[in-house]
Structure 1
Amino acid sequence: MDLFDDLPEPTQSCGLISAASLSATKEEEEEDEEEEEDKEEEKRLKRKHDDADCHEKREDEEQAEIKKVYKEGLPVLKGFVAARRGERDEMQDAHVLLPDMSVCLCALPGHVSQVSYFAVFDGHGGARASRFAAENLHANLAKKFPSGEKETFDKLMKKCLLDTFRQTDEDFLKKASSQKPAWKDGSTATCVLVVDDTVYVANLGDSRAVLCRAEAAAGADGEKRSLTLSLSREHNPTIYEERMRIQRAGGTVRDGRVLGVLEVSRSIGDGQYKRCGIISTPDLRRVQLTANDRFIILACDGLFKVFSADEAVKFVLNVLQEGSVEQKEALTEEELRFDAACQQLASEAVRRGCADNVTVILLSITF
Structure 2
Amino acid sequence: MDLFDDLPEPRQTSGRVSSATTARPQATTEEEEEEDEEEKKRLKRRREDTEEEGEVKRVCKEGLPVLKGYVAARRGERDEMQDAHVLLPDMSSYLNARPSPASRVSYFAVFDGHGGARASRFAAEHLHHILANKFPSGLTGNMDVLIKRCLLDTFRQTDEDFLRTASSQKPAWKDGSTATCVLAVDDTVYVANLGDSRAVLCRMEAAAAGGGRRSLTLPLSTEHNPTIYEERRRIQRAGGTVRDGRVLRVLEVSRSIGDGQYKRCGVISSPDTKRCQLTANDRFILLACDGLFKVFSAEEAVKFVLHILQEATVEQKPGLTEEEVRSEAACQRLASEAVRRGCADNVTVILLSISF
How does the TM-score come out when normalised to structure 1? Answer: 0.83
Once the two structures are superposed, residues 147-184 of structure 1 have per-residue CA deviations (whole angstroms, 9 ceiling, x without a partner) of: 23275111111110000000000000000000000000
Contact 1:94-1:120 within 8 A present in 2 as well: yes
Counterpart amino acid of 2:239? G
1:365 aligns with 2:346: no
Match for residue 213 of structure 2 among 218, 224, 232 = 224
Q: Once structures 1 and 2 are overlaid, which stretch shifts more, 143-152 or 181-190?
A: 143-152
Q: Once structures 1 and 2 are overlaid, which stretch shifts more, 217-226 or 305-314?
A: 217-226
The secondary structure found in structure 1 opposite 2:99 is coil
The secondary structure found in structure 1 opposite 2:109 is strand
The match for 1:336 is 325
The match for 1:261 is 250
Contact 2:78-2:346 within 8 A present in 1 as well: yes
Contact 2:98-2:138 within 8 A present in 1 as well: no
Counterpart amino acid of 1:208? R
Greater helix percent: which structure?
1
Match for residue 265 of structure 2 among 276, 281, 288 = 276
Structure 2, gaps ≥5 residues long: 1-40
The secondary structure found in structure 2 opposite 1:209 is strand
The match for 1:38 is none
Match for residue 157 of structure 1 among 130, 147, 156 = 147
1:80 aligns with 2:70: yes
Structure 1, gaps ≥5 residues long: 1-50
Counterpart amino acid of 1:220? A
1:147 aligns with 2:137: yes
TM alignment of 1:267-346, pairs within 5 A: 267-346=256-335
User: 1:52, 1:336 → 2: CA distance?
Assistant: 54
User: 2:95, 2:319 → 1: CA distance?
Assistant: 28
User: 2:312, 2:240 → 1: CA distance?
Assistant: 54
Contact 1:219-1:225 within 8 A present in 2 as well: no
User: 2:340, 2:126 → 1: CA distance?
Assistant: 33
Per the TM alignment, residue 222 of structure 1 is displaced from its structure 2 partner at its CA by 1.3
The secondary structure found in structure 1 opposite 2:76 is coil
User: 2:44, 2:72 → 1: CA distance?
Assistant: 49
Q: Once structures 1 and 2 are overlaid, which stretch shifts more, 201-210 or 143-152?
A: 143-152
Change (3 A) 1:325 1:58: farther
Per the TM alignment, residue 93 of structure 1 is displaced from its structure 2 partner at its CA by 0.2
User: 2:43, 2:87 → 1: CA distance?
Assistant: 38
Once the two structures are superposed, residues 237-275 of structure 1 have per-residue CA deviations (whole angstroms, 9 ceiling, x without a partner) of: 000000000011010111100000000000000000000
TM alignment of 1:187-266, pairs within 5 A: 187-215=177-205, 217-266=206-255
1:179 aligns with 2:169: yes
Contact 1:148-1:156 within 8 A present in 2 as well: no
Per the TM alignment, residue 54 of structure 1 is displaced from its structure 2 partner at its CA by 9.9
Counterpart amino acid of 1:172? F
Q: Identity of aligned pairs, percent?
A: 79
User: 2:176, 2:53 → 1: CA distance?
Assistant: 44
Contact 2:74-2:335 within 8 A present in 1 as well: yes
Counterpart amino acid of 2:343? C
Per the TM alignment, residue 325 of structure 1 is displaced from its structure 2 partner at its CA by 2.0
Match for residue 117 of structure 1 among 107, 111, 116 = 107
The secondary structure found in structure 2 opposite 1:210 is strand
User: 1:57, 1:91 → 2: CA distance?
Assistant: 56
Match for residue 88 of structure 2 among 89, 98, 101 = 98
Change (3 A) 1:323 1:173: closer
Per the TM alignment, residue 58 of structure 1 is displaced from its structure 2 partner at its CA by 7.2
Change (3 A) 1:84 1:258: same
Change (3 A) 1:53 1:143: farther
Per the TM alignment, residue 53 of structure 1 is displaced from its structure 2 partner at its CA by 10
Per the TM alignment, residue 106 of structure 1 is displaced from its structure 2 partner at its CA by 1.7
The match for 1:42 is none
Q: Once structures 1 and 2 are overlaid, which stretch shifts more, 322-331 or 200-209?
A: 322-331
Per the TM alignment, residue 218 of structure 1 is displaced from its structure 2 partner at its CA by 3.3
Per the TM alignment, residue 318 of structure 1 is displaced from its structure 2 partner at its CA by 0.6
User: 1:169, 1:197 → 2: CA distance?
Assistant: 29
User: 1:132, 1:107 → 2: CA distance?
Assistant: 24
The secondary structure found in structure 1 opposite 2:274 is strand
User: 1:54, 1:82 → 2: CA distance?
Assistant: 54
Number of residue pairs aligned between Structure 1 and Structure 2: 318
